Structure formats: structure tokens, C-alpha cells
Amino acid sequence: MKAIEFKDEVLYLIDQRKLPVYEEIFECKTYKEVEYAIKEMVVRGAPAIGATAAYGAVLAAKEFVKDEKKVFLAEMKKALDLINKSRPTAVNLMWAVKRMKNVIAENSDLEPSGIYAKIKEEADVILKEDVETNKQMAKNGNEIVPNGATILTHCNTGALATAGYGTALGVIREAHYTGKNIFVYADETRPRLQGGRLTAWELVKEEIPAKLIADNAAATLIRDGKIDLILVGADRIALNGDTANKIGTFMLSVIAKQYNVPFYIVAPVTTIDFDIETGEEIDIEERSSDEVTHVYGNRVAPVGIDVYNPAFDVTPNENITGIITEKGIVKAPFKDNMLKL
């Protein structure tokens, strides 16, 4: 499936807010529509956000390409700064925006039309790189998946969360395709139900044997010895291995450590933030209370109740068995081995 496609100067995104009931495409014709798509979770998943942000730069360049260079450069900075602020935790967003700013700086001697061409070229490279990276991660990760393994995963880390194939779900997909006879338990992942709506949708599409579970059933499965391996994604990884991922990941890691179940992060090197030492430096996004008090627009909590709704939590490095990247599997000591990447 193509969660992201750029064609005829329009960015086409599978609208992940509508799945699995409706399979609809959201069209972005301006950079402000890209900013909206990222902020409102039309598109989500760190690698997918990064690729989408790159094409947001393309659409901004298209909008201002006929302006004189000074105006073009000023408007591009404003547009990229706006996109950069659309979500605060996923480092791939900042990485993609920075990469686009570098392209502009390196080609500032060109006219706007020439800079536009360079930006488009770079966005296409980012999209292609992500697909290739995911497939290599899947091969690397498949090495640690035992035959007949029962795997638990949290949130959505598949083709929908990337430019294609997936991170943690990419490893699961690779294990399935190589005949390892795996079985998957997918957490529903409250409050936005990315596991129930998106991961389950992908598993059904790929005909991978699986069951959907409520988040609070995972601990019982782990305790009872029914989970061999836990694979999750990441939105930002600190240099020491502390990892920000969808809320509920930390809780799973604690239970996994208690019962000696291997707990792996699957993420590209671009998700590692080499500028921060620990997870304490990661900005955790807090989202609208409506995500908790309502399901599909229907109120499920009383009016007047306060809500705490962090989108992510941080799993400390001591709870992580390894971090699967396209360049290999990183294990403790994480900082030393991460720097080797």
C-alpha cells in the first residue's frame, strides 16, 4: 500500500483518521494542508511524518517559486518553521525540515525555480530512502525472531507509519513472508486506537495470523508465558537509548523486564536524536482531552472530568533488549554503540 504518494504536484495521503471503516485519500495541495495533516494525524508515524514534511517543503516552494529570491527564501523559512512545529516529539519531522533547509542553503545561488527542483529531488530521495531502510531493518530484525514466535506489538508501525513496509510491523511482515509461522497480538492502543484501527487493518490485509487485544490484556499474556517477543517502534531515541514511543510502551517494557521477555525497538537511524543525552530531554506532546472523553465523536466520559492525555511516554534504556536499525541491532552500552552508527 502507498500511505504517501506525490503526483502532479499534489501530495496524496491515506487518511488514517478514517480507517478501517473508510479507505479515503486526503489531498494536500499547499504546505498549510500538509501542516494540518501532520498536526491532526491524517498521517502519523515518525518516518511517514518526515516524508510528508519533505513534500510540504515542495508545496511551499511551488507556492512561492514566482516570487523574487529574497521573498522566496523568507517565505520558505516561515513555511518550514510552521511545519516543524506541527508535532513536537517525532524527531523525523525536525530531521526532514532541517534537511530541506540545508538544501535551500546549499543552493541559495540558484533562482527559486532551481531551488524548487532541488527540494523536489531531495523529497523524492527521502521517500525512496525510507522504503529501502525499512526493508533492511526488517531483514536485520528477522534474525532475532524465533520460528513459531508469538509477538506482541503496540500502536501502528507498519506501511501506514512509514513510506512503505514498516518498522516493527515490517519485521513482523518479514518473519511472516519467510515462513516463520509467527502469531501476533496487537494492542488496541488507546486513546486513538491505532492498533485496533490501523495495525489490525494491515494484519488482515497481509493475512498475518493475529488477534486484537485490549491494552490491559497484555500483562496477563506476558505473565502467562504466551508472548515470546515484543516489537515496538519509536518517535525519538536519545543517545543513551531512552526511547519515546506511543503512550503505554513504557508500561509494557516494565512487565516484559519482570518476566524476561525480549523487548526490542525498531527504528531507523534518523529516529535517533544524537543531540540529546537522555529521555529527560524529550518533549512529550499532550493532546486534546476529546481523544479520551470521546470515541468516534461519541462522549464516553462525564462532562466536567479533567483529562491527562500524553501522546507518548519514555522507555528507559535498561528495559530495552536492543534497538533494531537498518545498520544493525544496537545493544548496551547504547551510547557507545549508537555513536558507532
Active-site residue set = 235
Q: Which of 193, 223, 196, 224 is nearest to 211 (CA)?
A: 196
The number of beta carbons lying within 10 Å of the beta carbon of residue 298 is 7
DSSP 286: B
d(CA 20, CA 16): 8
Q: Which of 141, 154, 143, 272 is nearest to 213 (CA)?
A: 154
CB within 8 A of 91, min separation 6: which ones? Answer: 46, 235, 236, 237, 270, 271, 272, 273
Cell of 203: 494484519
* DSSP-assigned letters across all residues of 8-29: TTEEEEE-TTTTTT---EEEE-
Distance CA 168, CA 192 (A): 19
Angle between helices 46-64 and 91-106 in degrees, nearest 10: 30
Cα–Cα distance between 341 and 328 in angstroms, integer?
Answer: 9
Q: How many CA atoms lie within 13 A of 123 on its CB side?
A: 29
Contact partners, residue 198, CB within 8 Å, separation at least 6: 16, 19, 20, 156, 158, 160, 161
Q: Cβ distance 242 to 314 under 8 Å?
A: yes
Q: With CA atoms as reference, report the closest residue to 50 among 116, 118, 140, 125.
A: 125
